[in-house]
Amino acid sequence: MPLSRTQTRTFVAVLVGLMLGLSVLATVLITRGWENEAVQEQVREQETERVRQMPKFSDD
Protein backbone atom coordinates (compact mmCIF):
# COMPACT_ATOMS: atom_id res chain seq x y z
CA MET A 1 0.00 0.00 0.00
CA PRO A 2 1.67 3.27 -1.08
CA LEU A 3 2.19 6.13 1.34
CA SER A 4 0.36 9.40 0.95
CA ARG A 5 2.29 12.47 -0.21
CA THR A 6 2.42 13.87 3.34
CA GLN A 7 3.64 10.57 4.78
CA THR A 8 6.28 10.29 2.07
CA ARG A 9 7.56 13.82 2.73
CA THR A 10 7.64 13.16 6.48
CA PHE A 11 9.48 9.88 5.96
CA VAL A 12 12.07 11.53 3.69
CA ALA A 13 12.51 14.43 6.13
CA VAL A 14 13.12 11.99 9.00
CA LEU A 15 15.66 10.05 6.93
CA VAL A 16 17.49 13.22 5.89
CA GLY A 17 17.55 14.46 9.48
CA LEU A 18 18.86 11.12 10.71
CA MET A 19 21.63 11.05 8.10
CA LEU A 20 22.66 14.64 8.88
CA GLY A 21 22.72 13.87 12.59
CA LEU A 22 24.84 10.78 12.09
CA SER A 23 27.29 12.65 9.88
CA VAL A 24 27.68 15.40 12.49
CA LEU A 25 28.17 12.80 15.22
CA ALA A 26 30.81 10.97 13.17
CA THR A 27 32.61 14.23 12.42
CA VAL A 28 32.71 15.20 16.09
CA LEU A 29 33.91 11.78 17.19
CA ILE A 30 36.64 11.68 14.55
CA THR A 31 37.79 15.23 15.28
CA ARG A 32 37.94 14.77 19.03
CA GLY A 33 39.58 11.38 18.62
CA TRP A 34 42.44 12.85 16.60
CA GLU A 35 43.07 15.44 19.33
CA ASN A 36 43.71 12.65 21.81
CA GLU A 37 47.47 12.02 21.99
CA ALA A 38 47.04 8.42 23.18
CA VAL A 39 44.91 7.60 20.14
CA GLN A 40 47.44 9.24 17.81
CA GLU A 41 50.27 7.20 19.32
CA GLN A 42 48.28 3.97 19.00
CA VAL A 43 47.56 4.73 15.33
CA ARG A 44 51.26 5.43 14.71
CA GLU A 45 52.24 2.12 16.33
CA GLN A 46 49.67 0.18 14.31
CA GLU A 47 50.82 1.82 11.08
CA THR A 48 54.47 1.06 11.86
CA GLU A 49 53.61 -2.58 12.59
CA ARG A 50 51.53 -2.87 9.43
CA VAL A 51 54.36 -1.48 7.29
CA ARG A 52 56.85 -3.81 8.98
CA GLN A 53 54.69 -6.85 8.16
CA MET A 54 54.25 -5.95 4.50
CA PRO A 55 56.10 -8.25 2.10
CA LYS A 56 59.25 -6.83 0.57
CA PHE A 57 59.41 -6.80 -3.22
CA SER A 58 62.71 -6.78 -5.06
CA ASP A 59 63.34 -4.83 -8.25
CA ASP A 60 64.74 -7.89 -10.08
Task: For 2-57, write each residue's pLDDT tens digit.
Answer: 989 999 999 999 999 999 999 998 888 888 766 677 777 888 898 888 888 877 76
Q: Is the pLDDT of residue 1 over 90?
A: no
Amino acid 9: pLDDT: 96
- The packing angle between helices 5-35 and 37-53, to 10°, is 90
Please give the pLDDT value at position 60.
55
How far is residue 18 from each of residues 2, 11, 27, 31, 56, measured CA to CA in Å? 22, 11, 14, 20, 45
* Whole-structure pTM value: 0.50
